[in-house]
Amino acid sequence: MEQMPPTRASPLPDVSASFKEVVLSSVRYNLQHRGVKTTRKQFDEQSKFYNTVDGWSQLSREVNDLIYNFMHASHTSVEVTLTDEAPINTIMKKFHDGRPIDFIKLHDLVEKEFVRKIEFGYEWLALWRWLNDMMLLETTTFTDFENQMKQWYPHAPKPCKADSMGDYSKPYLGSKPHAVWTYQDFLKYKTNKQCLDGYYKLFNRCQHLKDTISQVPVLR
């Protein structure tokens, strides 16, 4: 008999090794036979029932890795794959140094170097800070940024939220370019919601983006 997902009122078990393998096997099968969009849609439906189960967040990250690796190992190019799914840009400038920005490649690089590694919601401030410092943002409001990132990365480990970014934005990190940040100034201005570990997390994330995406991808 086919096993039905539990209702919200049902007791939810931990993610066991056998349950995890069933989910991952299903994802692999769907990727091979039904494509990325259908796989993501079906996994989203599962998440509605299991997202409160212990271990589901880790399993979600593994599923995202499977989908990401499938897209990059596919004989179909990454550009073609993402063209069908990448949302339209609504917050960034369309040109960089006089050339049109390749948003497909930018989307892909940000996912690989930043989004897949997120542990805390406030880390989205680092991406906003880097894009702002690169003068790529047409609008700099956190609300617009949140809406765009939720469209671009609906399966991020931690969803982008303007409130979480705001926890570390004022009065210092959101107003000063990453290049001039110092921990001494951070300690001088930090609020009760902020800590030095969070500062170093954001600083290192900005530095990693600067090192790994040193050139904004543009169309030739």
**What's the pLDDT at 148?**
95
Neighbouring C-beta atoms of residue 139, cutoff 10 Å = 12
Q: How many CA atoms lie within 13 A of 53 on its CB side?
A: 24
pLDDT given at position 173:
97
3-state secondary structure of 181: coil
- Number of Cβ atoms within 10 Å of the Cβ of 50: 19
Residue 31, pLDDT score: 81
Asked whether 136 and 96 are in contact (CB, 8 A), the reply is yes
Q: What is the pLDDT of residue 81?
A: 39
pLDDT at residue 40 is higher than 60: yes
CB distance 117 to 61 below 8 Å: no
The pTM is what?
0.64
